[in-house]
Amino acid sequence: MTVLHLADEGEAADLAAFLSRLLHYDRAAAVRLQAAGTALAVFGRPPSFEVLAIRTARLAKPYEDGLEVTLDVTVSAGELLEALDTAAATAVVPGAVTGPPWAGVLPPRSGWRAEPGLPDPEALRAMVGAAVAEFRSRTEELGPEGRTRAELDRIGRDIWSRAVGSTGLPVRAVHAAQSLGFLRAAGEASVGLFSSGAWLRLRTPYGTVAVRRAGLGALDVSVSR
């Protein structure tokens, strides 16, 4: 039995909140866990947003399980949440599951460079609010016969695939960050945009959203083995 010892109750509570939000969008969600030293990274992909969400947590002591000094496994998000004891700040790692395709291809660990042009967090939140209002308005204008899944998806793609200013970051990435609790007022000073190969990463103190840039193909990725 592998047990993760998180740094404190706050780290455990934040991890539980992240898992709960993922499960809100997908009750069968899986997450990929990577632990080395005193750092734990949890990767998930909420299907509504088509982005990769990453939540990191501090461990109370360097990860070690027998002779294994690193952890890399894909597990059920629901089972991990059930095995998380926030009061004790521990989590029993569930059994591995067959990972979805996204779990085999992760953003690179290094080579990131800062990208200019990201609006301030208040403007980002306003942008998401305006996009949500536009989606609601446009769908409400549809007649009963026109409100098909295909038409709703078309409107959604039109709105959420728009770039944030000149950055190339799709608005859906900002929407995902806000919906997952990553875009909070308290962390405004540390919000940044970074790129590496085909990837863009919106980073905040509470989590990261990564997305592939359109038209660049499958470049610079970390593949599970």
| DSSP annotation string for 31-54 | EEEEEETTEEEEEE--TTTT-EEE
Same domain, yes or no, for 82 and 118?
no
- pLDDT at residue 11, rounded to an integer: 96
Cα-to-chain-centroid distance, residue 169: 14
β-strand partners of 90: 5, 85
Same domain, yes or no, for 43 and 92?
yes
| pLDDT tens digits for range 164-202 | 999 999 999 999 999 999 988 765 668 999 999 999 999
Q: In Å, what is the CA distance from 94 to each residue of 2, 57, 97, 108, 149?
A: 8, 18, 9, 26, 36
Residue numbers of the domain that contains 134: 113-195
Q: If you write DSSP's letter for every residue of 138-188 in order, what string do you get?
A: HHHTS-TTT--HHHHHHHHHHHHTSBSTTS--BHHHHHHHHHTT---GGGG
Same domain, yes or no, for 89 and 136?
no
For the cut 50, the answer to whether the pLDDT of residue 145 exceeds it is yes
139: in domain: yes
Same domain, yes or no, for 123 and 88?
no
For the cut 50, the answer to whether the pLDDT of residue 224 exceeds it is no
- pLDDT at residue 187, rounded to an integer: 55
The overall pTM is greater than 0.85: yes
Angle (CA) 70 8 32, round 5°: 35
219: in domain: no
Question: Which whole number is the average pLDDT over 94-106?
Answer: 91
Comparing 66-70, 116-120, 141-145, 219-223, the range with the smallest average pLDDT is 219-223
Domain count for the chain, please give it.
2
- pLDDT at residue 188, rounded to an integer: 61
- pLDDT at residue 7, rounded to an integer: 96
pLDDT band at 84; cut points 50, 70, 90: very high
